[in-house]
Amino acid sequence: MGKVERLAKKLKNYLATDENVLYVADTSPLKDAVYPPQLIVTNKRLIFRIPKMVGQTLEDFPYKAITNISIDEGMMFSNITITVPGSEKKIEALSKKEAQEVMRHVREVQISQ
């Protein structure tokens, strides 16, 4: 069972019946080696997940609410900034490849809607 399938199983109570996990991007273990945050791309929204010793914190961003998404590429890592009306969320320390994959999936979903 791959990373996407394992996470989809963990999140099954949080996902809509017609919602599918498309991609999971882990932040660098250098940022948090024990419980690295994840950015989850579904066909309905982006979910920022922070695992904890007991439980997790989830913050979601429906595609219809996202007014801008951008990547800031550094020498080693990339940051993604998601803008929704009245708020902005920065997800730090993604690999460049994972940040680009997140953007690709988001653009594909936005185009198909």
- Condensed to tens digits (0 to 9), the pLDDT of residues 36-60 reads 899 999 999 999 998 888 888 999 9
Question: What is the domain count for the chain?
Answer: 1
SS (H, E, C) 57-88: EEEEEEHHHCCEEEEEECCCEEEEEEEECCEE
Candidates 106, 59, 66; CA nearest to 86 is 66
Domain of 57: which CATH number?
2.30.29.30
| Domain span including residue 47 | 3-112
- Condensed to tens digits (0 to 9), the pLDDT of residues 14-34 reads 999 999 999 999 888 766 667
Query: Does pTM top 0.75 for this prediction?
Result: yes
Checking DSSP bridges between strand 68-73 and strand 38-42, what pairing results, if any? unpaired
